[in-house]
Structure 1
Amino acid sequence: MPDDAAAPPVGLTSAEVAERIAAGDVNTLPSRSGRSTLGIIRANVFTRVNAILSVLLALVWSTGQWMEGAFGILIVFNSIIGIIQELRAKRTLDNLAVVGEAHPVVIRDGLRQEIVRDAVVLDDLIAIAPGDQLVVDGSVVSSDYLEIDESLLTGESDPVAKAPGNPVMSGAFVVSGTGTYRAEKVGAEAYAAQLTAQASKFTLVSSELRQGINSILRIVTWLLVPVGLLTIWVQFSQPGTTWQEAVVRMTAALVPMVPEGLVLLTSIAFALGVIRLGRRNCLVQELPAIEGLARVSVVCADKTGTLTQGTMTLGGVLALDGADDVAWEALSQLVAADPAPNASMQAIAAVVPAAAHPWETLSRAPFTSARKWAGTTFSGHGSWLLGAPDVLAVGDVAARAEEIGATGRRVLLLARSDVDVTAGDAPGVPLPVALVVLDQETRHDAAETLAYFEDQGVALKVISGDNAASVGAVTRSLGVDLGDVVDARTLPAPGPAFTEQVDTHGVFGRVTPEQKRQMVGALQERGHTVAMTGDGVNDVLALKDADLGVAMGSGSPATRAVAQIVLLDDSFATLPHIVAEGRRVIGNIERVAKLFLTKTIYAVLIALTTGLLHLPGPFRPLQITVIGWFTIGIPAFLMSLAPNRDRARPGFVSRTLAVAVPGGAIVAAVTLVAYVTTRGLDDAITDAQQLQASTAALIALLMSATWVLSTVARPYVWWRAGMVIFAYSFYFSLFLFDFSRRWLYLDISNRETVLVGIVLGAIGMVAVEAAWWISTAIRGDKPRLLPSRERVEPVGG
């Protein structure tokens, strides 16, 4: 029941607000984008990789051989690139978050004003309506049939009626009714402050991709420690070697073991994803969401606000039994009596003005998705209802409404009842008075977007609370055949039969909010990765439980708060671009990981074998730096940024190891054979022989490691093929010119040792190629040298 009549609320005065701000009693929440600017700089400069490289750089410089420390450029580049990209992502998110966050309405000096969430102060009087999310803790001051859903906090999905004096918590959201509440706990003291603050936070939280990379790095760390210690001992125990030479060779062995760019490029790829999607007015609230939609196998789309425009227009009022004047009068009274009209009532109010002489209201029942009707009981005029015809009527009236709904229009029934709308047996037996027809326009980009998902093998489920026939008509008008329409009221209780129907059908009408949630769970039980799109308060539970929730920017604040992605401009066509961005991140980081892990594996094996044979390392730090330029560093950077349309698949670690382990082992094997064959195991060799053996080993390594790059770059497009060709050409030129040979300590005067390196390098290339074909066959993948012609580009390019 509404509160007793009272003077309009005044709320805090401007002076009281100023006092509380001065006292620090403000709803200050954590930074929208996580780390501060200083924190970002610190996090990108003081990394474990930078620390290792810095120590090695200091050791090399202590020998006076400054050029050998060229790998130190990595420290600067790693830090600068990481800082720039994360700051760009932070700025993008900060700008978008201001648009996407909740804006509560407070009452101050007797006036309602919309403010930013962080400007709420202690004791503020906050007005709430359906779809609003509570931003602070407090207690209800006034309640007009106020019902609040606290499922995000308690797990209980049933709405809770709130009366004056009842406590409310931040994070809950309004299902129906209106009211006001007083802020009693703000900022960090609020129960769910972190939930609302999380809505725009830039984080690199757990994801399958990052978990896989962390698993790889743990393996690498265990390998580095013993091999590193062995390398240090061997290099410093070489007879007749100065400490300077020992330090240089030790550094050359240790530097390539560190996968210095893997984590950096992963972070850059995510950050660039945020920036690119931000340009499309897409707010990414959790970064793993970028890869999440790339893995999605089922997209559940709500009809209203997603496939159709969120607004509607009144198409007509079809009076039954000639009660035209009665119908229009009743509608005008319902408009006057509704303090918080939903989209349907707003469409009616745009044509039907509020009654000039309102009837006295005795009780009111706001619309809920579970009930499917709203009503008001007037003194001396009975109860008037507006809701779903298939819920309030039967027989000819329901059939006529179904016939109109089958054209894609939305139909509501205006009916009269003698039962109070708040009674337990409401609505009683309604008397139909008129059919209210609402027109809704489909989004111009919906058809292309649905076609894109269909072409990509992503299953579509249209799930709506509207009439099943109307939902089916809208779906068919978009040119997508999803089979017969299912009325959700006919579905069995959750269980095997329910799961089977949800999995095999594509269009559902008359779905309750709880059923939406159950449908998401049923699809997940079948092994699907589920994305849910929506804009209304009835979508919140399903969005929360889906693997990926996508909310419309014009939707309710509660919907935006629980979604991982918010489409601020309501463009449904942005979804294919999110898919493309996710595929780019996952596919390209997988390529990059293969390169870096291959390098780590062959570096570890070379260091381990030369250590066990008690031989000096074959390479110098400057040579290792140059090797990394075009076999790892630059190619990895380019491939991490390039488009990639391949659908994401599970098994990131296994696929990465399937390429990196045999590739790294082959590169190490041919390099070691070339080194040992041309050098021998004797300690008593000349400097010239050592230099020639190192040159032969370097030739074998460059030829075979660059061919690993060529397999990772598949399927070839022009720039990837050009990248491989350029790498070979660049390395060939290093041996061609006298100045570069002197610079890199290369000696090609002994043709026999050079030939050994070339032959073994060619053998390595053949072995890498064979390993690629074999591992592809074992995994059951289709080998692809060129891009597939069947791949579909996202809508709009």
Structure 2
Amino acid sequence: MSESIQGLTSAEVAERQRQGKTNAAVTLKTKSIKRIFYDNICTLFNLINVVLFVSLLLVGSYKNLLFIGVVFFNTIIGIIQEIRSKRSVDKLTILTETKAEVLRDGKTVQIPKEELVLDDIIFLSRGNQIPADCVVVDGSCKVNESLLTGESDLIEKAECDEMLSGSFISAGKCCARVARVGADCYAAKINSEAKYIKKNNSRILRSFKFIIKLCTIIIFPIGALLFCSHLFFQHAGLQQSVISTVAALVGMIPGGMILLTSSVLAVSIIRLSRKKVLVNEMYCIETLARVDVICLDKTGTLTADAMHVSDLITINADEAEIKTALSSVHHASEDINVTLQAIADYTNDISPVVCNRFTPFSSETKWSGGEYADGKTYIIGAAEFVFSDKEKYREVFDRISEISDTVRIIALVKSDRPIDGQKLPDDLSPMALVLIKDTMRENVNQTVDYFKKQGVTLKVISGDSVQTVRNIAKETGIEGADRAVDMTEIKTDEQLDEAAEKYNIFGRVTPAQKKKLVLALKAHGHSVAMTGDGVNDVLALKEADCSVAMASGSEAARNVSQLVLVDNDFAAMPEVVAEGRRTINNIERSSSLYLVKTIYSILLALFFTFTAITYPFEPIQLTLIGALTIGFPSFVLALQPNRNIVKGNFTLNIIARALPAAISVFLNVVTVAVLSLTQPISHAEISTIAVYVTALSCLLLVIRLSLPLNALRSTMLVLSTAGLTIAFIFFGKLFNLVFLSPNAIIILCVLSALTLVIFNLMYSIADRFIRKNKNQTIKR
């Protein structure tokens, strides 16, 4: 570094910070602890429950206040799970942070790239990502701008040349002055185009919002009508009217369903974090589980952004001599680009010959080489640039024409004469052709096979040449690899729309075309996931239903993506999809338990509003049933293994599963209430019978949802049944349960027998409906 280059002083840094000339970027942040507490406590459901709690408190019905305990613990569990999820995400976020090496106060220091200020002097070398737009002030390097443009060719940068943020230094080293920071940087400007509110595509969220909205609309008028009916028409008294009304309304609130979903998704985030997958948006786990098209970038996704020597074609030398020459050229070169790194790996155990003078690679000559201590000159480079007389070296070009694979071909030659400036000797003797190709990511073929078996279409969208992309796709086994489209030939939106559905391999794709391809696929009814790592992928990532970025890619890509693969390993995707399927299928199964209570509570409230019979349930009874037949089982079922493909309409599925139990409860309670008009059955007996048959109906649903049984599910069923039995026998007084008269026992037995028949018949019908709905979804 030139001594004339001076970094900023602390005073100059402070002044620029005061002026806001810092490299601070808007990144995705997790919620603060304060926000987590606020969001979990200040909810509509909690407000309604507090109002009901206060109502019971005012009329002195203290034991019925137990339902608030469930609300309290649900809220605490939600807070704990979200904080655990936040910590897991924060730990992974730290892993993806990088630091910049800068010159300040005459000393070299490392600082977070967000603390860079305008005019900072930064040091960059091979492997560094450029943190802000800057200008080279000393040295030279080769820059990979593929994250910005999609092109993998290296761009040479010398003094006074501009380098854009998001690019990588692939060879050389330099000293640069920061020219633009923060929002003024090139990458930040592209990122800003994607900074709009993206509509959440979660079907679960839409379903729950619909259910919440419906319950909110219904709960207040029904509550008012039921209260007035009991107080003014049935003359039940203020305390009994409040107790009955609160019991009905508590049953209508599916608050646990929301908690269940948040908790299960939080657990999924924690599980994925252990697999080095960073989840930026909770509901994307569901979206990825539903996708039927995944758009892949070639570099960084299918390939490992590295190359290797795939073959060696010897010409006028043996393998030992060739490897020694290659090792000698590699060791003499200061540039370590992907080609030389592949040669270095190939000749790792070969001792080089000492180099006396070396001519580095340049974009003009396309070769590099030097004179060595053994008296030989070794040169490597592109054949068409190394051999000026093609007729003289016809053998070499004939060998090249026989190569059908898509590889980078490097010619190795030797001479007894030295290199004259930028002119090669005339007596070049070909030694070998070195075939270098992209290194495929480990397990990429197994990953591709997994998605093929799951019916997910893979589409490769790359800025590289069509031939390169086609051959990579063939090697990984992607369907449709034989047919590829060059996007430079696509001129109209109509052609693009047709190509999006027709082809799976796309080459020479621009960032704008990537976005249009994603939109076209969505317009054709596909659920689309997009993987990418560059600024050129940002717009497409933002439009995709689920966006996945590599941690080694640009910050812009990570910021707009819902998932970040911290280990940059596409092979992690099947685990993410499997986790999503487990989560969504289990939430669907468990949510139906909560809807049972909501449906029968609404139906019963309407029935008892317009009859002269007192509502049979009390809040404490519903708390018991809810805890042992809904709350506890739902959390056990929601965390079980489940890798089935997500199919069908979520809302229809959970309602269909809930209806048999809800209708059974409604019919049983209405029957016993009507019978009480002709049979000598007290209100306490009606209430007791209602509790028993409701618990039975809910347990039957839990059993059906638990099939096939395993050790954990069997244990859960035993504990739930035992808990209800113990409560009924030993704590009947606490739950306002009474001993039944002979008539009441007969009614209970008849209703229980009918429940077994009616529930199983209705559930079988519902199960067939769900299966039919899911099969129709697959055919569409």
Q: How far does residue 91 in structure 1 lie from its aligned partner after superposition?
A: 0.9
Q: How far does residue 690 in structure 1 lie from its aligned partner after superposition?
A: 1.0
Alignment map for 1:111-122 (pairs within 5 Å): 115-122=111-118
Corresponding residue to 1:124 among 102, 116, 120: 120
Give the Cα separation in 2 of the matches to 1:184 and 1:467. Answer: 32
Greater shift in the superposed pair: 36-45 or 510-519: 510-519
Cα deviation, 1:360-380, whole Å, max 9, x if unaligned, reads 99x858xxxxxxxx95999xx
Q: How far does residue 213 in structure 1 lie from its aligned partner after superposition?
A: 1.4
Cα deviation, 1:18-64, whole Å, max 9, x if unaligned, reads 56568886555678543211221222222222222222223323344
Return the letter of the residue paired with 2:288: L
The total of aligned residue pairs comes to 732
Corresponding residue to 2:223 among 228, 232, 236: 228
Q: Is the 8 A contact 1:597 1:660 kept in 2?
A: yes
In structure 2, the residue matched to 1:96 is 92
In structure 2, the residue matched to 1:787 is none
Alignment map for 1:69-148 (pairs within 5 Å): 69-104=65-100, 106-108=102-104, 115-125=111-121
CA distance 1:148–1:574, change in 2 (3 Å): closer
In structure 1, the residue matched to 2:416 is none
Q: How far does residue 606 in structure 1 lie from its aligned partner after superposition?
A: 0.9
Corresponding residue to 1:60 among 33, 56, 66: 56
Corresponding residue to 2:482 among 479, 482, 485: 485
In structure 2, the residue matched to 1:604 is 602
* TM-score normalised over the length of structure 2: 0.76
Cα deviation, 1:498-553, whole Å, max 9, x if unaligned, reads 767765666x4865555766665554454333334455677666555543343343
In structure 2, the residue matched to 1:370 is none
Corresponding residue to 1:568 among 558, 566, 576: 566
Is 2:40 the partner of 1:49? no
Q: How far does residue 132 in structure 1 lie from its aligned partner after superposition?
A: 7.9
In structure 2, the residue matched to 1:773 is 764
In structure 2, the residue matched to 1:755 is 746
Q: How far does residue 710 in structure 1 lie from its aligned partner after superposition?
A: 3.5
Structure 1 alignment gaps of length 5 or more = 366-373, 379-383, 417-431, 785-797
Q: Is the 8 A contact 1:319 1:434 kept in 2?
A: yes
CA distance 1:65–1:526, change in 2 (3 Å): closer
Two-structure CA RMSD over aligned residues (Å): 5.4
Q: How far does residue 227 in structure 1 lie from its aligned partner after superposition?
A: 0.9
Q: Is the 8 A contact 1:702 1:761 kept in 2?
A: no
Cα deviation, 1:170-222, whole Å, max 9, x if unaligned, reads 8x767999994636555x898987997999xxx99663321221122111211
Alignment map for 1:344-383 (pairs within 5 Å): 344-348=339-343, 364=363
Q: Is the 8 A contact 1:147 1:161 kept in 2?
A: no
CA distance 1:117–1:268, change in 2 (3 Å): farther
In structure 2, the residue matched to 1:690 is 683
Greater shift in the superposed pair: 82-91 or 488-497: 488-497
Give the Cα separation in 1 of the matches to 2:353 and 2:530. Answer: 37
Q: How far does residue 600 in structure 1 lie from its aligned partner after superposition?
A: 1.0
Q: Is the 8 A contact 2:648 2:770 kept in 1?
A: no
In structure 2, the residue matched to 1:658 is 656
Cα deviation, 1:600-629, whole Å, max 9, x if unaligned, reads 111111112111214322111110100101
Q: Is the 8 A contact 1:405 1:467 kept in 2?
A: no
CA distance 1:778–1:720, change in 2 (3 Å): same
Give the Cα separation in 2 of the matches to 1:436 and 1:585. Answer: 49
In structure 2, the residue matched to 1:742 is 733
In structure 2, the residue matched to 1:298 is 293
In structure 2, the residue matched to 1:279 is 274
Give the Cα separation in 2 of the matches to 1:388 and 1:634. Answer: 73
Give secondary structure in 2 for the equivalent of 1:746. Answer: coil
* TM-score normalised over the length of structure 1: 0.75
Return the letter of the residue paired with 1:87: I
Q: Is the 8 A contact 2:142 2:155 kept in 1?
A: no
In structure 1, the residue matched to 2:213 is 218
Q: How far does residue 96 in structure 1 lie from its aligned partner after superposition?
A: 0.6
Give the Cα separation in 2 of the matches to 1:662 and 1:396. Answer: 80
Q: Is the 8 A contact 2:23 2:115 kept in 1?
A: yes
Alignment map for 1:259-338 (pairs within 5 Å): 259-302=254-297, 304-314=299-309
CA distance 1:321–1:550, change in 2 (3 Å): farther
CA distance 1:533–1:67, change in 2 (3 Å): same
Q: How far does residue 81 in structure 1 lie from its aligned partner after superposition?
A: 0.8
Give secondary structure in 2 for the equivalent of 1:261. Answer: helix
In structure 1, the residue matched to 2:701 is 708
Give the Cα separation in 1 of the matches to 2:509 and 2:399. Answer: 23
Give secondary structure in 2 for the equivalent of 1:312. Answer: strand
In structure 1, the residue matched to 2:587 is 589
Cα deviation, 1:714-771, whole Å, max 9, x if unaligned, reads 5554544554465445434444x2x322222222331222332343344344333333
Return the letter of the residue paired with 1:699: Y
Alignment map for 1:537-576 (pairs within 5 Å): 543=541, 545-555=543-553, 557=555, 559-576=557-574
Give the Cα separation in 1 of the matches to 2:410 and 2:161. Answer: 35
Identity between Structure 1 and Structure 2 (%): 33
Q: Is the 8 A contact 2:303 2:441 kept in 1?
A: yes
Return the letter of the residue paired with 2:581: R
Return the letter of the residue paired with 1:280: K
Q: Is the 8 A contact 1:144 1:179 kept in 2?
A: no
Return the letter of the residue paired with 1:16: E
Give the Cα separation in 2 of the matches to 1:541 and 1:353. Answer: 50
In structure 1, the residue matched to 2:421 is none
CA distance 1:359–1:722, change in 2 (3 Å): closer
In structure 2, the residue matched to 1:615 is 613
